Chain A
């Protein structure tokens, strides 16, 4: 199948440029985050660029197939992702402890990252008929989607990767809301939503995760541990002041006051070096990107495209928002990467695959 020039024309170039801008910022920021004052190891950068290249290839592959064709394979993708997650858990247990990674030929992959777009496809496949018929979903209607969400949710939380678990759960809920729910369903979900945190706290969360929540509520609850890191993150961002300390001049991360400053806490690096002005520009870039994604959902050719686009957008939005809120101490610390910016091949490829889906949907909006 040749690439249709018309379809190329219909590609959302604005979204692509916006995404490239974010990725460029991400790479520049990563260079600073992974180098000390004296020397930098470009190992991280090379890996990130390799992941980007693979991601772009994934986009091209995804664009090649109509999303309606892809959706037919969603079941296989879903089970493949589940299998990988289970594999990670088994290997992890054999190695004497849970883990999130799987190494294939020297490349570490995080299957839970890929679960995010795959689950969106899987749920969209189940729900788009309802949406087309404008059926408000009752309890029976949401049972299956919830089941298919909770299976990977528990598996991922067990890894333990609470952050990714939360993202897929919230994304599913958002998709259900997008399709439409009955008032009674809202009520039931509301009740479950009120009770669930207690159950999660009591049975699911590990002590260190609880500590993170406690030190979010009271930053001095664990002054030597998470509270310390939360404070250092605040100091990093705050000390950037209006114009920032300047590129490569952030002292907080370069002197290792902030853990995970190249992954989950990457925003502290940016905030410290670029200040208020840079951060606002960064937010605007991000939110316009998300707005652009929403527009794809709005203008999709059919409900299927609309739901997929909405689900994928939700993932990106939630990751961005929760990650930044976490860095500025408005949310407890959970491991959620900042799309395009955080170091991490799986995360970047997952995001790029999502972008591929969005472009796919947008490209085919005038087709019948």
Chain B
């Protein structure tokens, strides 16, 4: 150094360089070594999106393999919160583009707020082709919005079988909170009604996963790996679509419920409730207006009247006191009561439906012509508790255990019931009403099909069963539902013979209340019922519920039927023809019954 330099300044410089090196190294040590693992994880989380590959739900087939519910591809609209750059730009932009309520979007996003921001939130399921095109065209302006093709539940027959099949729909926030639904996340579909609900565990597949790499805009760059989804198991029903079709048509534009089952196994051949709804509307997220309309409908389309509608059974109920009285020997086939058109008890007069009266009535005639006075007498002789006891034995009252959700109990009163419920003693006069299926008796169509099956099968009933078997996607039978015996009551052979003769006569003897519905080539047995919807005493007619229970063939029944047409009028004219059509379809005895002068009433 020839010139005066100031060495201490260079020493300072050297020191600064050393300090720089130390600071940078320490910071990098902290970032890359101490926190490196965490940072690596964050960077992976940045770029890798786990996308759900939704498993197709199991298919539902009828007995002969016709598709009742399947899946079809649909385009669903998602928002991934993490990929939103400007919140209002994306949300408002989307709301404007597709004319969706902004609040709806916010609500959906809120529902998924417990999930990581990389979790795509379903905003609108099943968007139309037009909407799809709009979204694709404006994609750049609404970052975070994406479209995914996913399987969607499809019910090809629409309203038909709606109450049996039920529907699937997006899981609600309440359902998400339930422990059993731990494996679900927002936007997942879950069976909400009908078989879809009962057999959710079988029908739901196992969703797969696709790991994709996305860039900072949320665009998929490449697929890293895929775990395939496993489709759900299929259900084969006991239902015969041809019979179902006939039953559906029979109830068109009416209200009511019908069940057809095999008394020997409990297999449900057809089940209908009307009015019905279109389950397809629910799967694509039912609009508020549609839901409002359905809820406001006085016919209650969402109610499965076959298992949820409690009605007075009317004269169909007469089979209960008939069975009990014959079995106990209180009456026999020779016992006769005289009917003059009314029956006095206490200071009250109970009318028979036939104003002129039936004259001298035996048990056979009483069933065939549905004489009220006969059963007023029998009822009084039995007492309400023995009627109740018989119902318990048959299974009228408790739930039948059909594999559908929401079944209700029925009610057959007893002295104990009245004491417990009203803290009042039972009055004999009430027994008179109960004996003909009025008063406090409330039963559902499925209860009454069990009554029919009980008689058809001579004391044995089975749990009504819609699903026959569960079949895996590979075609292996996972589970077969064997008949489950519900009632097995030992009664005198004679008792059943008398009652069955009576029920055969209802349809096949001139003067029988359903004589006009007799079927050629095959004997159908049945019992009509016309139940007053209003109170019996006041006689204020709100319209009568038309009942008909039946089984066929009379000799060795393989079908039991229960038909209810709500406020339909007379059982013999309204409901019996439906049973006839059903029987004809099943036995293919498609020859019109002869016109006959009828006595179609009770």
Residues of A bordering B, CB below 8 Å: 36-37, 134, 177-178, 180, 224, 232, 234-242, 251-252, 255-257, 271-272, 275-276, 279-280, 283-284, 287, 290-291, 294, 297-299, 301-303, 306, 317, 321, 324-325, 328, 330
Contact = CB atoms under 8 A, between A and B. Distances in A.
Interface in B215-261: 215-217, 221-222
Given A134-B4, A238-B39, A240-B36, A252 B17 contact: no
A284 B1 CA distance: 27
Interface of B: 1, 3-6, 9-10, 13-14, 16-17, 20-21, 23-25, 27-29, 31-33, 35-40, 42-44, 46-47, 85-86, 213-217, 221-222
A239 B36 contact: yes
A178 B32 contact: no
Contacts of B20: 287, 317, 321
A271 B32 contact: yes
Contact of B32 (A240, A290, A317): A240
A341 to B, nearest CB: 15
B36 A37 contact: no
A64 B68 CA distance: 91
Contacts of B17: 287, 290-291, 294, 317
Nearest to A253: B216
A257 B28 contact: no
Contacts of B85: 224
29 contacts: A37-B221, A37-B222, A177-B9, A239-B40, A239-B44, A241-B36, A242-B33, A242-B36, A251-B44, A251-B46, A252-B47, A255-B46, A255-B215, A257-B47, A271-B28, A279-B24, A280-B25, A283-B21, A283-B24, A283-B25, A284-B21, A287-B21, A294-B13, A298-B10, A302-B3, A306-B5, A324-B24, A325-B24, A330-B23
A271 B519 CA distance: 89
A328 B26 CA distance: 11
Given A180-B6, A235-B39, A255-B214, A276 B46 contact: no
Given A255-B46, A257-B46, A279-B28, 4 more contacts: A232-B46, A235-B46, A302-B3, A328-B24
A255 B213 contact: yes
A289 B32 CA distance: 24
Given A180-B6, A242-B32, A287-B20, A257 B42 contact: no
A275 B28 CA distance: 9
A256 B46 CA distance: 11
Nearest to A250: B43
Contacts of B27: 328, 330
Contacts of A301: 3
A338 to B, nearest CB: 13
A238 B24 contact: no
A56 B337 CA distance: 128
A178 B9 CA distance: 7
A241 B40 contact: yes
Contacts of A239: 36, 39-40, 42-44
A324 B27 CA distance: 11
B33 A276 contact: yes
Contacts of A317: 16-17, 20
Please name the 7 residue pairs, one residue from A and one from B, whose CB atoms are nearest each other, closest first. A238-B39, A241-B36, A239-B43, A255-B215, A238-B31, A276-B32, A256-B216
A276 B37 CA distance: 13
A188 to B, nearest CB: 20
A279 B25 CA distance: 8
Contacts of A287: 17, 20-21
B21 A298 contact: no
B31 A237 contact: yes
Contact of A328 (B6, B31, B213): B31
A238 to B, nearest CB: 3
B221 A255 contact: yes
A242 B32 CA distance: 6
A275 to B, nearest CB: 6
Contact of A237 (B1, B28, B38, B214): B28
A335 B32 CA distance: 24
A241 B213 contact: no
Contacts of A306: 3, 5
A302 B1 CA distance: 10
A236 B43 contact: yes
Contact of B43 (A134, A235, A242): A235
Nearest to A237: B31
Contacts of B86: 224
Nearest to A36: B221
Contacts of A256: 215-217
Contacts of A180: 6
Nearest to B16: A317
A193 B25 CA distance: 29
A220 B13 CA distance: 35
Contacts of A330: 23, 27
Contacts of A283: 21, 24-25
Contacts of B38: 238
Contacts of A241: 32-33, 36-37, 39-40
A2 B560 CA distance: 119
Nearest to B7: A298
A325 B43 CA distance: 20
A36 B25 CA distance: 29
